[in-house]
Structure 1
Amino acid sequence: MEEVDKILIHALRQSGTGVAEDIQSVKQFTSELIVEAVVRCVRVINPALGGGLSPSLPPGMSARFRVGMGLAQACQDLGYKGEIGYQTFLYSNEPEIRALLMFLVEKLPRESAEASDQPAGQSNTLHRTLFITYRSRKAARLQKRIQEQLSSAPGTPSPGSGGAGSGGAGSDLAQLLLSFQGAGPGDLLPKGTHFTHTQKFTFTQVTLMTLTLTQVTHELKERERANQEKEDSLQVKRQTVELLPDAHNNLAKLQTLVEASAKRLVGLAAQWEKHRDPLIQEHRRLKELCTNQDVESSRQLSEIKDLHEKIRETAEKAKKKESVYKQLISELENLPKDVSRSAYTLRILEIVGNIKKQKEEITKDAKKDESVRKSYKYLAALHENCSQLIQTIEDTGTILREIRDLEEQIETESGNKTVANLERILADYKAVREENSALGSKVREG
């Protein structure tokens, strides 16, 4: 959003909005700056629609509400489809303001036509002064050159001579120059440069008239806007005067309306607190549950590590027995092939006896050694613990996802500046009450 805000601020500065250099984000826009930016953009997009809009907020709350409603209606007339009202400008919301400014900037014309809607500053005045000075000097040089060429031409009289024989062509040329340039008889042009100087002079006059027309048009728009503001002020005063005959009832109605607005604000604040407290409690509960599950997971991981260590030791013992088995197999293969059947029988009986002895020893060890019996139990419980661990990890992931969702909701509510807007609404409510008190005192004094 930082790049988008920079583009928006640059476009607003180009349209004539006085955005300070230290403002780098839409979040830093005040209500006054938002109103000015919207009015400037509307004037550039549609001068007829924005001519009656004021770029500054008046001090009175009722006038501010009217300005906000007028701006909202103008934006809707331009085709804005989003939700908009006076609260958009007086109690700004960063996402809504960014969307509105993006819409207006996209509507701005691609050419630099917006410059004609701005008042002439020092730069335009300086350019105009330089142009007039340059034009006067060039006209003086051109007049001097014409006089020199006419005085050096054969058969052409000087400005002071009045010869009858050779004065016909000179007088015709002098009359032509007088009708073209409005200069004295001495400011005569040579025949070969007549069309060139006529074209230059015409172009200069057209340029000058265009600049004058632009300035006059701009002054006319400014005066129309000032007249519109005065008419609006007059309309407000007229409505105020109309309310004076029944001032008591009107003040009672206004007081009722203000009290209803205050109750609505209090109700909204109570609803916000009602929604906010359960969310905070749920967040704390989930955080505590997550902490407990982390402790339980750490304990189970420790047990699993112990079981893995025992499994590793058992695997090493199995490898040793496997090596012994292979060694016995190799020794068996190296035995002579002519061993009698009785020898095999005795060997088998010996092995069977050894197996029985080993079973008896294992049984005795299992009865005596508690660790061996626990090893078997741990091995059996390993699979069950692994499944429980997987389930615990899944539950932990679900809880973390819910926590992230709650944090995003909290960040969204914080970005909407709900608390700040409520404070500003309460401040405006107090200002309205003060204005009502002032009006009531004026009515009682009158």
Structure 2
Amino acid sequence: MEEVDKILIHSLRQAGTAVPPEVQSVRDLTPELVVEAAVRCLRAVNPTLGAPLSPLLPPGISARFRLASDLAAACQELGFGGDVGYQTFLYSSEHDTRRLLLFLVEKLPRDESESGTEPPGKSGALLRAIGARIREQLGTPWVPPLCRTPWLQRLNTLVGSGSVLGSGRWSPCAKPAPPRPPGPPLDPAWLQEAFGAGGAGGALPKGSRFTRTQHLTHEQAAVGRCGMPSSASPRWVPHGGEWGFWGGGLGYPDNVVPPPKAEAEVQQGRLALGGREDTLRLKAQAVELLPDAQSNMAKLQLVVEASSRRIVSLAGQWERHRGPLLAQYRHLRALRDSAQLESSRRLSEIRALHERSRSAADEARRKEELYKTLVAELEALPRDVSRAVYTQRILEIVGNIRKQKEEISKILVDTRALQKEINSLVGKLERTFSVTDELLFKDAKRDEVVRKAYKYLAALHENCAQLIRTIEDTGTIQREIRDLEEQVGVWGGLYGGGGNLGCLWGGLPSIGVSPMSIGVLIDLSCVPPSLCPP
């Protein structure tokens, strides 16, 4: 794996990455070196993907995330099949970094004619990008005038028509073209050597990169002047509701109305022309700097170094300001979270209070309706009956109920105590009989006296069981007697006591009822015979 890392780092150095000599393995690569290596490889493989990306990792966190995300998208577009994201460049592991860099190194061009004669580093990448751009422009087919945009065809038709153009209206537009800036012409042999036959590609010539850049800049300026109209050339502009040229009197006839699509095309052409003029101005400034390239490059290097130092200083200042701000931000975010939790809790409490108040209001409404109903019923009752009588009667009933409750409680306590005593006595009797039975049963076969004692014990046990059953039956009969006495008391209260029963007994023969059937009447009325007269 160390040999693989050495080969990989050597390939990255050849691609233009400034890898320090102390870096000997992928483990020693910092995120800045990983980002720079990925950008250099992307620019070497596909300049379209790598040109917008910066090889320098910015100090800001958001800018770092943005650059890493763009790098990940470019790698995926290039065909990387692994899992790649911003974390691959900023917080990656050794395995992921090695896998990504191996993929990018394998994608580097292997043609000797394409890369053998180019200097390594940034200049080689610049030359490759310039060569690819010029090959792309030279490979673009030439379009005849009749095959261009419809607006351009209509413009040519209007310019060539005699009904629209007058002999005196075109003369102000006929201005001389500006002179071509001085510079050496392009050498056809140099073009053939640089780009091959037909612009198919080839190795760039050796020599100073400033010389090659000067040649290429003059060629691009010439192509731009051939493909773009001059600022002094006529343009279509709306003016005062009429259409005409800026520089001349060419325009539509009075009976011809320009279509709305023409306005859009004119605006689009004007925007494109403005962009090309800006590009041409920048290239002209670059051409002016090329004659004194060494001094200009030194000045530019000084400006870049000063800007780098200023960026580093600003980054340090930002980090010093960023620490307290980040702590304050985290503190404020914690306060916001706690405030949100508190507001959520209070909101839930308020909702619960609303529900309780709503239920309490419903209950109050229901009780209010019940109160109104009771008031209406009270008003409907007669007023001649005093309430004191009913109140006294209710208090008496409540007192009787309380006394009965106390008596019932005492009876229950006594019953439980008696039941416990009965259970203990029964258990003691059972244990005594069992022990005695065991003691006597052993000697009952050998001793006649013991046998008789055993028989007496068995008879005693049977008599005791019969006695217990008799006591239980007696208790049941007494309970039934008390129930019957209570029923007799109820009947006596209803029918006027024993006097009424005596009159009823004496009047039985007069209605044809024999005294023998009085038992049936007694059973039906649950009256004991002691209350009946003789």
User: What TM-score results when the alignment is normalised by the length of structure 2?
Assistant: 0.25
| Larger-Rg structure | 2
User: What TM-score results when the alignment is normalised by the length of structure 1?
Assistant: 0.30
